[in-house]
Amino acid sequence: MANDDWTPIADTNELGVGQMKAFALNGRRLLLVNADGDYHVIDEMCSHEDYSLALGCIKGSRIKCSLHGSYFDLATGQPLDEPADEPIGTYPVKLEGSRIWTRLD
Ligand code: FES
């Protein structure tokens, strides 16, 4: 897949505010998040240990890992507190009508 290839991943009516959807793209496990109407695509797995962030919860513009409680900024992927000290991947999102697209850079 070329770097500029966008892939449709969901429809806006699939996700209410604060909801997430796990999906795979090119073998990568990803998470689509609706945070207050802003959509984000991030790595599904926490950077601290191999644990799914889909089991966590959305708090405003952050996602909380439910295993050890680290928060990550959904826009930048940066960890906001310990124990996680590495960022998670974040990916661009665009909306066309009700279709949500992402691409892997
Ligand atoms: S596995 Fe996510 S904070 Fe430890």
Residue 65 forms part of a structural domain: yes
Query: For residue 41, is it left (φ>0), alpha (ψ between -120 and 50) or beta?
Result: beta
Task: Read off the pLDDT band of 98 (50, 70, 90).
Answer: very high
Query: What single string gives the DSSP state of each residue in 38-69?
Result: EEEEEESB-SSSS-BGGGSEEETTEEE-TTT-
Domain that holds residue 28: 7-102
45-87 residue pLDDT tens = 999 999 999 999 999 999 999 999 999 999 999 999 999 999 9
Residue 82 forms part of a structural domain: yes
By the 8 A CB rule, do 102 and 7 touch? yes
By the 8 A CB rule, do 84 and 77 touch? no
- The CATH number of residue 26's host domain is 2.102.10.10
Q: Which protein residue's CA is at the shortest distance from atom 4 of ligand 1?
A: 68
Q: Which of 31, 50, 64, 68 to mutate to test the pocket of ligand 1 (most atoms within 8 A of CB)?
A: 68
Q: Which of 47, 49, 80 to mutate to test the pocket of ligand 1 (most atoms within 8 A of CB)?
A: 49
